[in-house]
Structure 1
Amino acid sequence: MNPKPQRNNQPTKVVLFNKPFNTLCQFTGEPGDSVLADYIPIKQVYAAGRLDKDSEGLLLLTNNGKLQHKITDPRHKQQKIYWVQVENIPSDQAIEQLCSGVQLKDGMTQPASVSRISEPDVWPRNPPVRERQNIPTCWLEIKLTEGKNRQVRRMTAAVGHPTLRLIRAQIGQWSLGDLKPGEYKLV
C-alpha cells in the first residue's frame, strides 16, 4: 500500500500494535490506567476500531481518516479474525449456531466462520486465565465482518460457552504476525 498524502501533506501511517490485556484503546486515561501512550510514541495516529480492555491482540492505528473509516465501517466488510478460548467444548450444534448467526439483545449477528482450532502459539496472559480443573476449555477461530460491541463474547455466551480469552489475530490484510504484547510496527 503506497502512502497517500494527507491534507497536511503527511504520508499515511499505519501502525500495527499488539494490545496487551488490561490496556485501554486510547492514549489517555485515569491515573494508573494502561493506555496506548505507554507503548506507542508516534504522534497523530488514532485507533481504527477498538478492543475491550480485557481483550488482546491486533489494533490498527492510522493518521488517515478515510482509511480509518474503511477499516471500521461494517459496510466495507473488513474481515476480522479472533482466537477465542471458551469454557467447555462446543458441540457441532453450538458451532453451527455461531456460524448461522446468534440472536443478541441488539439484533441478530451476521453469519460468521467458526471452527475449533488447536491452542494457538501465543504468549501467556498476565494475569493468567482462571481455569477450573473439572471444566475443559476449547479454542475457536471466529471470522467476522461486523463489529457489534463485545460481539464475540456475547455470541459465545449466547450458545453456552463463555469467553475466557480473546485475541484478535487479523484485520483485513493486516495480521498480528510475531508482535509480542506491547510491541508495535509502522507499516
Structure 2
Amino acid sequence: MRINKMLSNLGFCSRRETNRIIEDNRITVNGKLCIQGQWVESTDTILIDNEPIPIKDKIYIVLNKPVGIICTAQSKVPNNIIKFFDFPQYVFPVGRLDKESEGLILMTNDGELANKILESENGHEKEYIVTLDKPYGDSFIESMSKGVEFSEVTTKPCKVTRVNNDTFSIILTQGLNRQIRKMSGFFGYRVIKLKRIRIININIQGIETGKWRRLSNDEVDELRNI
C-alpha cells in the first residue's frame, strides 16, 4: 500500500500529514528517502527521524456531533471536527455527517477498521431520527421504504418507522451523499432536523450533544468481527 495509507492505518498520522513529513525528508524506506505516494511493503524498513514507526494504542470514540460542525480533518476548514473535538492524540472521523445534521460520529486512529466500516457493500446499518417541515402520510413511509430514484440512482430498500406526524426513524445500509434529504425532497418534504443515533452496534444513548465516550472492549470487538 502507499506510505500515506500505512501510516494512517497504524494510527501515526493522517495521509495529509504524511506528505508534510515526506517533504521534510524525515522518512526513509530501506535506507532511501521516501517520495510522495511511494508504495511500501510490510517487509520494508521504514524509519521516521531515523527511528522505527512507533506503535500507538488504538483509540475508539463515539462523539455526539452538534449541528454546524464539519466532518473533515482539514485544519483550514472553519468549524472542522478535529478542532472542535480537540483530542490530544491523532484521530479522524469515520465517514461523514453533513454540517446541518447532528448525532453519532465515530472517531479513531485505526485506519484499517475505519475502512472496513466504510465499505458500503458490507451493508452496515445506520439509524437516524428525521423531522420534516410538515406532516406526512402512510404512503410516504411505504414509498421511502421501497427505495427512491434520484440522480440516476435508486436507493436500496430500507426500514422506515413513524415516530409522530412529522418525524420518522430510518435505517439505511448505504451511504449516498445527503441521501435522506434527497429521498425526502423527492416527495416534496424538507428535512429540518436529522440526527444519527446508531452505527451498527454503537449508539449515542446517554451522550449529550457535543460530548463523547470511549467504546468498550466488547463494542470494539464486535466492530472488528463485522
Aligned residues: CA RMSD: 1.8
Matches within 5 A, 1:24-173: 24-27=70-73, 28-30=75-77, 33-36=78-81, 37-118=83-164, 138-173=166-201
CA deviation string 1:13-42 (max 9, x = no partner): 111011100111124234xx3222222314
Higher normalized contact order (CA 8 Å, seq sep 6+, divided by chain length): 1
Deviating 4+ runs (over 6 angstroms): none
SS of the residue 1:17 aligns to? strand
Structure with higher helix content: 2
Q: Is the 8 A contact 1:15 1:62 kept in 2?
A: yes
Q: Is the 8 A contact 1:117 1:140 kept in 2?
A: yes
CA deviation string 1:101-121 (max 9, x = no partner): 000114000001001114xxx
CA deviation string 1:110-143 (max 9, x = no partner): 001001114xxxxxxxxxxxxxxxxxx6111010
Q: Number of aligned residue pairs: give it.
A: 163
Paired amino acid for 1:180: E
Q: CA deviation at 1:8?
A: 4.6
Q: CA deviation at 1:10?
A: 2.4
Residues in 2 aligned to 1:65 and 1:99: alpha-carbon distance in whole angstroms: 32
Q: Is the 8 A contact 1:52 1:150 kept in 2?
A: yes
Q: Is the 8 A contact 1:40 1:184 kept in 2?
A: no
Alignment counterpart, residue 177 of structure 1, candidates 205, 208, 220: 205
CA deviation string 1:140-167 (max 9, x = no partner): 1010010000001001111222111000
Q: CA deviation at 1:77?
A: 1.3
Residues in 1 aligned to 2:76 and 2:59: alpha-carbon distance in whole angstroms: 24
Q: Is the 8 A contact 1:18 1:56 kept in 2?
A: yes
Residues in 1 aligned to 2:129 and 2:118: alpha-carbon distance in whole angstroms: 19
Where does the alignment leave 5 or more consecutive residues of structure 1 unmatched? 119-136
Q: Is the 8 A contact 1:77 1:145 kept in 2?
A: yes
- 166-175 or 82-91: bigger deviation: 82-91
Residues in 1 aligned to 2:66 and 2:76: alpha-carbon distance in whole angstroms: 16
Which has the larger Rg?
2
Residues in 2 aligned to 1:84 and 1:35: alpha-carbon distance in whole angstroms: 23
Residues in 2 aligned to 1:162 and 1:38: alpha-carbon distance in whole angstroms: 28
The residue that corresponds to 2:67 in the other structure is 21
Residues in 2 aligned to 1:40 and 1:15: alpha-carbon distance in whole angstroms: 13
Q: Is the 8 A contact 2:69 2:84 kept in 1?
A: no
CA deviation string 1:33-68 (max 9, x = no partner): 322222231422111110001100000111111210
Q: CA deviation at 1:78?
A: 1.3
